[in-house]
Amino acid sequence: MAHADKVFKKHREHHPQVGFGLFLILLGVSLLVATNDLLGLGEVRNYFTWESAMIFVGLLLLLNLNFIGGTLLVAGGLWFWFEDIYGQMPELLRTVYWPAIIVLTGLIFIISSFVKKGKTSINK
């Protein structure tokens, strides 16, 4: 059983250069979005806030197959970013957002357990 977990972790982890490459790609895309004002936020400094840092790190975690942490960081960053953009959160979004995130996190737990079970049975 310990061998199967070790094999699964080995297949799941990226090489450090892949993680750094993903970081550079996301940073470049975010700079393109900011310098061209694609989201209509105004100046470049309005794009690089602590909320966008949370979203950025969450996306990196998602790309590195850490789904739970990535989902929660992206969800938290978007929540606070929406409050800054809209001033006051729309009522529908306020009532549906966190329950939807909790359901999504539960689905991720379930799906990852099936993927983990499938990988370990393949390697036996």
Q: Is residue 7 part of a domain?
A: no
* The pLDDT of residue 74: 92
Q: Is residue 34 part of a domain?
A: yes
Indicate whether 122 pLDDT > 70. Answer: no
Residue span of the structural domain in which 94 resides:
12-123
Instruction: Round to whole Å and give the CA distance between 91 and 94.
Output: 5
Indicate whether 1 pLDDT > 60. Answer: no
Name the domain count of the chain.
Answer: 1
Q: Is residue 117 part of a domain?
A: yes
Write the single-letter amino acid at 79.
Answer: W
Q: Is residue 3 part of a domain?
A: no
Indicate whether 121 pLDDT > 60. Answer: no
Output the CA–CA distances (angstroms, integers) from residue 47 to 27, 35, 70, 81, 109, in the order listed.
Answer: 12, 9, 20, 10, 32
pLDDT confidence band for 123 (50 / 70 / 90): low
Predicted TM-score (pTM) of this structure: 0.65
* The pLDDT of residue 54: 92
